[in-house]
């Protein structure tokens, strides 16, 4: 009503005494449903100015009677500033609000890690093997179906038949998807990969739990050696993954996709975030496989030891062998041999460990006890192909000389070992035996038969000893060094003061790298015969290798050399 609107009108100065015309405006009200004619109100603003507004208006009704005073619009003295225009400020505020909402939405989508809210989530899996994610549905899924059925019943009772039928249809599709999916999991566990593949395809077509079904379909294709389908379905699983964004197993699903696509660091990151039972042990087992693939053997061992759902004796044995812990490797592999599935591979690995550690007798005994005939015994060669060959560099003169000049002569031990290897064995002193024979002849000439017999016996003993020494040296020269050493030890018990015998025994010890006993017998040989300078020099070498002070021995050798008039350098 005109009486209720607070309108400020400016009146002409000469009309101050005229009567009020409020009531005369009632005749100009428009009719309901009919717009004003002749653009009567074209000059009216959408909202009248409020009280105390800076600008005032006069309005003139062209259709008013002539005897009624009219009002003319009075232009404001100054234009209204933009910051005082309420319509403009309202539009600015609304625009800013919309921009803030858009920015907030953008940030939320950016930092929500791609977990888009799904329409339907059906991911309550059972325990699964490593390469076959077993995602059978459990009680919660059945509870969801019951809820959907109750909703449909309520809609039907309210008379909303069409809505109820739609819900019933969703229940049927959902049940069919669950049936196909669980059937596929069962078929996978029975190694019926082709049938399982078809079941998972149907589950994907029904539109329920598509990402997990696609992962299992990819695994089936991998088992069937169909690489093209494997790549297709693993990519399809990644496409459907956002539908599982609200699932607790989202990280686990993503890790499986990355694992099968070969993105091992990314898969490892997601596996470390998986702590949902019973998948924590599966995540640790897969993490161990990735660490082993990346040659982080110690971390792989740590992951295997921290899980308890998978039998990992064979894997632990192989990993321990790779890092050189052969004792632990043998324990783990011996445990794995008790499992029929891992028997051949663990036996082959144990055989390699025995070869590496030099336990050839244990290896042969284990092989003979494991198989009844040679044909079965050598089946382990099908697991690890063993080819024995000589190092080709040993027959390459250029390589040998290069190694000799650069590597061998740098170490003092290698230099001494080289000298010991090429050092000559001493046989006997023929002049000494001839001297005793000569003495016997002189004694016999002066009719001293007793002394002559003694000299001849000594000469005979020396000759017999020299023959034995020659035979033992023959053992050493024919690669029977240990046998030669044992024979020298027996012979020296009968002739403990034989200088040459001590020298030869010491040389066998030096070639066997037993430098302490070599030093002992080289020293004895030199002191029994101070002119055996080679024994003295070799005693000095052995003393340096076992860190014994050689000052006294060195001075003794120098004094003997100075006193020997027959010494030739």
Q: Which residues contact 297 (CB under 8 A, 6 or more apart)?
A: 291, 319, 322, 323
pLDDT band at residue 11, thresholds of 50, 70 and 90?
very low
What DSSP assignment string belongs to 364-431?
HHHHHHH-SSHHHHGGGGGTS-------GGGG-HHHHHHHHHHTGGGSHHHHHHHHHHHPPPP---HH
Beta partners for 9? 57
Q: Look-up: residue for tokens 């660091």?
A: 265
Say if pTM beats, i.e. exceeds, 0.75. Answer: no
| Model confidence pLDDT, tens digit, residues 175-211 | 555 567 777 777 787 888 898 888 888 888 877 678 8
Runs of H (alpha helix) within 273-373: 279-293, 297-305, 313-322, 326-336, 343-357, 360-370
The helix-helix angle for 264-272 and 279-293 (nearest 10°) equals 150
Q: What is the third-level CATH fold of 423-563?
A: 1.25.40
Q: Where are the domains of the chain?
A: 311-388, 423-563
Confidence of residue 466 (pLDDT cuts 50, 70, 90): confident
- Residues 455 and 442: beta-carbon distance below 8 Å: no
- As a whole number of angstroms, the longest Cα–Cα distance in the chain is 195
Rounded CA-CA distance 22/43 in Å is: 20
Q: pLDDT per residue over 343-392, tens digit each?
A: 888 888 898 898 888 888 888 888 778 776 666 666 665 666 667 777 77
Distance CA 314, CA 383 (A): 14
Q: Same CATH fold, 423-563 and 311-388?
A: yes
Q: State residue 149's pLDDT score.
A: 52
The CATH number assigned to the domain with range 311-388 reads 1.25.40
Does residue 205 contact residue 74 with C-beta atoms inside 8 Å? no
* Token pair recorded at residue 173: 């599709």
Q: In the beta sheet, which residues pair with residue 57?
A: 9
pLDDT at 429: 57
Q: What tens digit of pLDDT does each residue of 522-562 get?
A: 999 999 999 899 999 999 999 999 989 989 999 999 998 88
Secondary structure of residue 555 in the 3-state scheme: helix
Question: How far is Cα 269 from Cα 201, in angstroms, rounded to an integer?
Answer: 29
Average pLDDT over residues 490-517: 91
Least confident among 54-68, 251-265, 467-481: 54-68
Q: What was the pLDDT predicted at 188?
A: 81
């Amino acid at each position: 009503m005109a009486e209720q609107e607070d309108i400020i009108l400016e009146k002409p100065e000469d009309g101050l005494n005229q009567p009020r015309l409020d009531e005369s405006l009632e005749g100009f009200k428009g009719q309901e449903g009919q717009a004003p004619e002749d653009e009567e109100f074209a000059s009216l603003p959408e909202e009248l100015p409020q009280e105390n507004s800076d600008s005032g208006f006069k309005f003139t009704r062209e259709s008013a009677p002539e005897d009624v005073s009219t009002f003319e619009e009075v232009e404001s003295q100054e234009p209204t500033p933009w910051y005082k225009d309420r319509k403009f400020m309202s539009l600015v505020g609304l625009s800013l609000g919309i921009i803030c909402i858009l920015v907030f939405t953008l940030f939320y989508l950016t930092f929500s890690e791609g977990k888009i809210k799904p329409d339907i989530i059906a991911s309550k899996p059972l325990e699964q093997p490593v390469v076959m994610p077993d995602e059978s549905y459990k009680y919660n899924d059945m509870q969801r179906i019951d809820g959907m059925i109750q909703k449909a019943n309520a809609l039907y009772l309210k008379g909303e038949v069409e809505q109820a039928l739609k819900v019933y249809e969703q229940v049927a599709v959902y049940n069919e998807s669950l049936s196909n999916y669980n059937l596929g999991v069962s078929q996978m566990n029975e190694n019926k990969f082709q049938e399982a593949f078809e079941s998972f395809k149907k589950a994907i077509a029904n539109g329920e739990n598509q990402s997990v079904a696609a992962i299992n379909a990819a695994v089936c294709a991998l088992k069937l050696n169909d690489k093209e389908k494997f790549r297709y379905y693993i990519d399809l699983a990644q496409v459907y993954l956002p539908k599982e964004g609200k699932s607790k197993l989202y990280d686990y699903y993503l890790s499986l996709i990355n694992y099968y696509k070969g993105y091992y660091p990314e898969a490892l990151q997601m596996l470390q975030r998986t702590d949902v039972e019973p998948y924590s042990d599966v995540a640790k087992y897969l993490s161990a496989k990735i660490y082993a693939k990346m040659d982080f053997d110690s971390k792989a061992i740590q992951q295997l030891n921290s899980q308890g759902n998978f039998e990992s004796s064979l894997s632990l044995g192989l990993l321990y062998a790779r890092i050189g812990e052969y004792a632990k490797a043998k324990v783990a592999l011996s445990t794995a041999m008790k499992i029929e599935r891992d028997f051949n591979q663990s036996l082959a690995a144990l055989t390699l460990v025995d070869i590496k550690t030099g336990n050839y007798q244990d290896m042969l005994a284990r092989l003979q006890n494991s198989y009844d005939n040679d044909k079965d015994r050598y089946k382990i060669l099908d697991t690890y192909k063993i080819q024995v060959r000589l190092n080709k560099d040993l027959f390459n003169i250029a390589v040998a000389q290069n190694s000799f000049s650069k590597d061998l002569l740098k170490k003092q031990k290698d230099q001494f070992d080289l000298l010991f290897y090429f050092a000559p064995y001493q046989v006997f002193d023929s002049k000494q035996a001839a001297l005793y024979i000569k003495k016997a002849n002189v004694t016999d000439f002066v009719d001293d038969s007793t002394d002559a017999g003694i000299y001849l016996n000594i000469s005979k003993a020396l000759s017999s000893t020299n023959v034995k020494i020659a035979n033992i040296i023959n053992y050493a020269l024919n690669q029977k060094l240990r046998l030669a050493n044992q024979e020298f030890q027996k012979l020296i018990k009968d002739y403990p003061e034989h200088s040459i015998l001590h020298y030869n025994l010491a040389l066998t010890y030096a070639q066997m790298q037993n430098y302490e006993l070599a030093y002992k017998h080289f020293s004895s040989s030199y002191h029994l015969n101070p002119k055996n300078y080679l024994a003295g020099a070799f005693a000095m070498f052995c003393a340096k290798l076992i860190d014994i002070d050689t000052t006294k021995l060195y001075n003794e050798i120098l004094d003997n050399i100075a006193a020997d008039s027959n010494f030739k350098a």
